[in-house]
Structure 1
Amino acid sequence: MELSIPLVDLKAQYRTIQPAIDEAIQRVLASANFIMGSEVAAFEEAFARYCGATHCVGVSSGTAALELTLRAYGIGPGDEVITVAHTFIATAEAISAVGARPVFVDIDPATYTLDPDCLAAAITPATRAVIPVHIYGQPADMTRINAIAREHHLVVIEDAAQAHGATWAGTPAGHLGHAACFSFYPGKNLGAYGDAGAVVTDDPAVAEAVRLLRNHGRHSKYIHEQKGFGHRLDALQAAILRAKLPYLDRWTAARRRLAARYTALLADSSLALPAEAPDAASAWHLYVVRSEQRDELLAFLNAHGVAAGIHYPVPLHLQPAYADLGYGPGDLPVTEAVAATCLSLPLYPELCDEQQDRVVELLYAFEAEREQGNPG
């Protein structure tokens, strides 16, 4: 009988920590304090401490975190923000939302993160900030990115939506730039049970600006100091995240073990396997291989009960939504090559060795069929 192996198994995670989650939910329901309040404050304090930062401001999503951080730094019309096209569209959407122009640069062929050489070449007098994306849980080269940013007086905003628990040169993601933006979308390494996000920073002025912006520009109920947004973090989601946070290091260790096991088991395959940069400790949000027969391999795995995925098949510079920027095929060759060949394999802390062995067995079976000329 075929095993049914999901890309991520949130039901399995819930089963392992059900008492803690149920208690957190019941605590909020009993209090009837659903918006902001002590649950949000307690999570903010705990997550700031986890990241080694001074401030954490909970918001409604990772997208909101990016937009409000850009606004807090005064970035808007006429400004350029450099980022990558190999990411979820929220990275660029936030730049567009504040009226700035996204400038896409290519990625490193080994880590799939922002190539610092491309960053330096893309800076113009209009450049105000850079958003490196810690894609798949792998931190970008923050040593070089920060050095370039300092030279050109740029704000560095980490897109750490996939990097909870990752480190660069021993420093946690979330404490590698001027500010960092996290998503707690349910499938993330630290996930809520709905949309949620946070901004982490050591800058008290930025933290205060985000606090105002998330809550309609106010400190008191009916005095609005500026125009803001309804981007508050729900107390229920904060309580769930607070209940999960003590497990995050354990989950990250499990992801790292499974990633290392994939790498060892697939060493004799023809797949291009992911690699960590020397200074990086990835959170392994995803284990992404590359195959020139990616679409056929995906169909093969799906047909045999394995739910693989693609993150991300169409780079942002080639998306219809960004056609107005004037990019075309061939402008970001590494990004385009990765987008055409990347495949995410099942990876989550509860994945057992038997399930992983089955995934590996199918990967080799696919290669064997191709060598024999059998379409499968």
Structure 2
Amino acid sequence: MPFRPEREAPPTAGLPLRLADLRGDVPAPLTALAAHWLGTDGAQLECSGTAALTVALRTLSEHARSRTEVAIPAFTCPLVPLAVRRAGLVPRLVDLSPGHFDMDPDRLAAACGERTLAVVPTHLGGRLADVTTANAIAHAAGALTVEDAAQALGARSGERFAGTLGDVGFFSLAAGKGLSIFEGGLLVSRDAAWRERFARTSRRIARWHPVWEARRMIELTGYAALYRPRGLGLAYGRPMRRALRRDDLLGAAGEHFDPDFPLHRVGRWRQSVGARAFARLPPFIAATTAQAQSRLPALATLPGVTVFRDDGGTWPYFMLLLPDRTTRDAVLARLWSSRHGVARMFIHALPGYDYLGGMAGGDDVPNAHDFAARTLTITNSPWLDDPAFEHVCSVIEAVLVSR
């Protein structure tokens, strides 16, 4: 009998690409479609969300050279401090509010001063950070906010989209995100002068690189073919389980990052793929939001578990905070290597990554370490059907009851 790969759910609910996305007419440039949807006057495309952050910070620093520090949450993607350093700046870590992913306002205010260039409020898993408070603290110190909406394209706070609530915002179009061109990032600002400066910086530091772009084109073609229930086992599941068998948690989570990450222009073909798929993004977000709302009641019954939720966010996955590290690890021991899209968001708080080295503020972030130790994620992909979701819930409940 022919080999038939097993179905696998991805760790996040990304918009699947179609064959028609790879060729044909383009309705409008990807940046124009994104800007119109987000309600901004323009959007700039970079080769990754990390590159977009680097461009933004490099530009800001050139106009405030005495300010060299960037305040970031102590629990976030390790690429954030790498981007800060790539921009020639110093990351200053800010501890979280207890039991939450957002920066503690008092700790943020204490971290900001005359050397602060920017504050990076960060939305995680479609859940919204408090950008209003971050704006107030940053502006009081003479700094700007650079809103990290890498995981929140399409999330709203009231009538405005995440990413447009601060002075500057950026989004990720990486593999598994709501809209993907395999690697890409959008950079936005309400200030026309900053948008012009960002464009000049990008032309200077993100040159055309045919080898990198050819690689991304091949990867995007593979992504379009394999981002399917029966293709993900090959592209995601096997490497993840192989890393877990080696006890390589960073490899399982895809967190072996290089400080010399690419900075290059995105070619026309990948831009056109994103533009053709863009019209399906809003209804996809609506569908996954409806699915999340239908599944939240089951998660809410799990004793001692916090399920993060808010109005207006997107739902690429559910973010759960378990009672303690032992319980979280016991759940992951049974489910991470399964095909049900259970994973960890980030393996460590930022001070826990050896390749990042020491960072200002990193010796006093207990809440970030606690959050990293107790969180796990469950995919909200439509490919995790109801029986599989119920199985995930039953495993978590069984572990909780046995403790």
Matched, 1:348 2:336: no
Q: Aligned residue for 1:175?
A: 164
What is the match of residue 288 of structure 2? Answer: 255
CA 1:146–1:349: 2 relative to 1, 3 Å: farther
1:324 Cα deviation after fit: 3.0
- Identify the match of residue 137 of structure 1 among 126, 149, 155: 126
> Which residue identity lines up with residue 355 of structure 1 in the other structure?
A
Query: Structure 2 vs 1, CA of residues 262 and 115 (structure 1 numbering), >3 Å: closer, same or farther?
Result: farther
Tell me if the contact between 2:82 and 2:356 (Cα under 8 Å) persists in the aligned partners: no
Q: Spell out, residue by residue over 1:26-61, the C-alpha distance to the aligned partner (whole angstroms, 9 max, x if none).
A: 238xxxxxxxxxx69711111011111111010111
The AA in structure 2 aligned to 1:252 is: I
Structure 1 range deviating more: 115-124 or 205-214: 205-214
CA distance in 1: counterparts of 2:360 and 2:114, whole angstroms: 20
- SS state of the match for residue 55, structure 1? coil
Structure 2 CA distance for partners of 1:94 and 1:304, relative to 1, 3 Å: closer
Deviation at 1:312, TM superposition (A): 1.1
**Aligned counterparts, 1:280-291, within 5 A:** 280-291=311-322
Distance in structure 2 (CA, Å) of the matches to 1:303 and 1:63 = 28
What's the counterpart of residue 185 of structure 1? 174
2:10 is the alignment partner of 1:7: yes
The 1-side partners of 2:79 and 2:36 are apart by: 26
Name the counterpart of 2:350.
Answer: 316
Identify if the C-alpha distance between structure 1 residues 63 and 195 changes in structure 2 by more than 3 Å, giving closer, same or farther. Answer: same
SS in 1 for 2:177: coil
Structure 2 residue corresponding to 1:120, chosen from 89, 106, 109: 109
Alignment of 1:155-166 (within 5 A): 155-166=144-155
- Contact map agreement 1:83 1:103 (CA 8 A) in 2: yes
Partners in 1 of 2:206 and 2:170 — Cα distance? 22
1:196 paired residue among 184, 189, 192: 184
- 2:51 is the counterpart of 1:54: no
Tell me the alpha carbon deviations over residues 103-128 of structure 1, each in whole angstroms, 9 at most, x when there is no partner.
11112335412222221111122111
Residues of 2 paired with 1:115 and 1:256: CA distance? 28
Structure 1 gap ranges (5+):
29-38, 220-228, 372-376
Match of 1:209 in 2: 197
State how far apart, in whole Å, the 2-side matches of 1:170 and 1:351 are. Answer: 31
Q: Tell me the equivalent position of 2:396.
A: 363
Question: Using the alignment, how far apart are the partners of 2:154 and 2:99 within structure 1?
Answer: 21
Which runs of 4 or more aligned residues in structure 1 lie more than 6 Å from their structure 2 counterparts after TM superposition?
Answer: none
Output the TM-score relative to the length of structure 2. 0.76
Distance 1:9 1:140, change over 3 A: closer
1:88-115 per-position Cα deviation (integer Å, ceiling 9, x unaligned):
1111111111221111111233541222
Partner SS for 1:186: coil
What CA distance in whole angstroms lies between the structure 1 residues aligned with 2:141 and 2:354? 31
1:88 is paired with a residue whose SS is coil
Secondary structure of the corresponding residue to residue 70 of structure 1: helix
1:233 is paired with a residue whose SS is coil
Check the 8 A contact 2:307/2:318 in 1, yes or no.
yes
TM-score normalised according to structure 1 size: 0.81
Query: SS in structure 1 opposite 2:376?
Result: strand
Query: Secondary structure in 1 aligned to 2:308?
Result: coil
Identify if the C-alpha distance between structure 1 residues 95 and 338 changes in structure 2 by more than 3 Å, giving closer, same or farther.
same
- Contact 1:318–1:328 (CA under 8 A) maintained in structure 2: no
Gaps of 5+ in 2: 1-5, 208-261
Match in the other structure for 1:147: 136
Letter of the structure 1 residue corresponding to residue 202 of structure 2: R
Contact 1:215 1:231 in 2 (8 A): no
Q: Is structure 2 residue 225 aligned with structure 1 residue 236? A: no
Quote the Cα distance in structure 1 between the aligned partners of 2:106 and 2:381. 33
Contact 2:92 2:361 in 1 (8 A): no
**2:26 is aligned with 1:23:** no
Tell me which of 292, 298, 318 is aligned to 2:332.
Answer: 298
1:271/1:190 Cα in 2 relative to 1: closer, same or farther (>3 Å)?
Answer: farther
Contact 1:105–1:332 (Cα < 8 Å) also in 2: yes
Q: Does 1:87 align with 2:76?
A: yes
2:54 aligned residue: 67
